[in-house]
Amino acid sequence: MISTDSTIAAIATARGQGSVAVLRISGKEAWSIAYELFSKKNLKFQHGRFYHGWIADEGDIIDEVLLLSFKGPHSYTGEDVIEIHCHGGDVISHKILNLCVKNGARVAMPGEFTMRAYLNGKMDLTQAESVMDLISSRSERLISQASNNLKNRSLGKYIDDMSQGLLTLQAQIVASIDFPDEVEEPDRQVLAHQLEECLSGISRLKESAQRNRMVREGLKVALLGMPNSGKSSLFNALLARDRSIVTDQAGTTRDVVTEVLDIDGIAITLIDTAGIRETHHSIEMMGIQRSWQAASEAQIVIYLIDCSVGLLRYDMQILSKLEASNTIVVGNKKDLLRPGQKTFPNWIYVSVKSREGMDEIYAALQEKIRAFSHEDTGLTLSLNQRQIKCCIEVEECLKQAQAAIQSTLPLDVVTMPMTEALRKLDELMGRDTTEEVLTSVFQQFCVGK
């Protein structure tokens, strides 16, 4: 059973050395614990005020701190909250945390501060999950969408409107069943049309989730090609730093190397791969197998060809195995093109060494990324797996209700799947959910959040 009776404390900043560490205390004893630890005993804390002083343990000075006090319910958790800003470092922060525990607090569980904010009505469950998105996000777009939901309840408002529409529809049916002499049975065609609108709403939400999947998960871009075609050089150029080893010797890269960069607000996992060629060298063969694996998992492949050598039969064999619509063919070392050498209009010709043509590669990547966005339906909501699962279950319930309306079954049969759809919408928002679901959501958080 989830309880908010105890007072919790945790270090809210990352471990290791730093200029400042922050500890957070929340609960009915938070202020009294702070009074015990703080050097200035004649103070009366006020909401939203900073206080300068020292943390002491039975007269022994521990550290000079800033103390920030919040009075519930006007705090992050909705409870009385104290933040202690001390000097960075694990030793000092853990010593102060131990003092908090010594004076009546217990160490918070992962995500427990945000869980209390949810339980105390400071945010709905989707907003709490947006907090996690902000912490773990690797892309600007997910940060933007998570911030919007946290501030404006964009997903919550959409679900509320859908729930209200279903409740109104269900009320019409129930009223005609409970008061048949006073309320006329609704026209089934009208009910079917109204239910279709509800189904359309959940479908738009699912489409938005699919369209914005890359915002949450990012995309993989694999650099593929024969040895010495310039994959590692392009990898470093896209990252704007030397990450892969580059030499004139073919076959330098024997394994995949990955890094993340941001393009148009999307987290792109860039994968440098081993050059593909026929070989009997066991280690190189393993590297080539991993190159093909990376290509199969990537949404976009950049295939490099050495212009000083030209298009070889083996290049053509490799390209025939790739999905043309998701492949960008790049002719590298354009400065080494021979007079009269055949060129191809759908290739991008660059010189990675001089960075000539790099803008065209960025433009091609942006075009491919936009293609994964699909058609815009007006919604920009990125849903996690839990939320998507609820949407799928809601859709299934509504389809059952729709089938019942279109049949000759009594109308009270229609209300059963509609009631389940409403329950699933409440589960999505956290209004009706189990302790197991809450635990699975909040255990993903770090301690102190």
The per-residue pLDDT for range 120-132, each reduced to its tens digit, is 999 999 999 999 9
Task: Kindly report the three-state secondary structure assignment for every residue of 305-361.
Answer: EECCCCCCHHHHHHHHCCCHHHEEEEEECHHHCCCCCCCCCCCEECECCCCECHHHH
pLDDT bin (cut points 50, 70, 90) of residue 413 is: confident
Preceding omega of 73 cis (within 30 degrees of 0): yes
What pLDDT shows up at residue 66? Answer: 96
From residue 422, alpha-carbon distances to 63, 75, 153 in Å are: 53, 31, 19
Q: Locate 25 and state its tokens.
A: 């205390």
Which of 88-92, 182-186, 289-293, 306-310 comes out lowest in average pLDDT?
Answer: 182-186
With CA atoms as reference, report the closest residue to 269 among 369, 367, 356, 347: 369
Instruction: Give percent above pLDDT 90 in the chain.
Output: 57
With CA atoms as reference, report the closest residue to 240 among 217, 263, 256, 221: 263
Task: For residues 158-183, give the mean pLDDT.
Answer: 88
Backbone torsions φ then ψ of 364, nearest 5 degrees: -65, -40
- For the chain, helix (H) and strand (E) counts, in that order, are 15, 12
What pLDDT shows up at residue 247? Answer: 46
Which of 55-59, 211-215, 352-356, 427-431 comes out lowest in average pLDDT?
Answer: 211-215
What is the residue-averaged pLDDT of the chain? Answer: 89
What pLDDT shows up at residue 399? Answer: 94
Residue 332 identity:
N
Task: For residues 332-359, give the mean pLDDT.
Answer: 90
Which of helix, strand or coil describes residue 433? Answer: coil
Which of 54-68, 178-192, 243-257 comes out lowest in average pLDDT?
Answer: 243-257
What pLDDT shows up at residue 75? Answer: 96
Q: Which residues contact 235 (CB under 8 A, 6 or more apart)?
A: 223, 243, 244, 257, 259, 270, 272
Task: For residues 283-297, give the mean pLDDT.
Answer: 88
2 Cα distance to chain centroid: 26
Higher pLDDT, 441 or 223: 223
What does the alpha-carbon distance between residue 103 and residue 97 come to, in Å, rounded to a whole number?
10
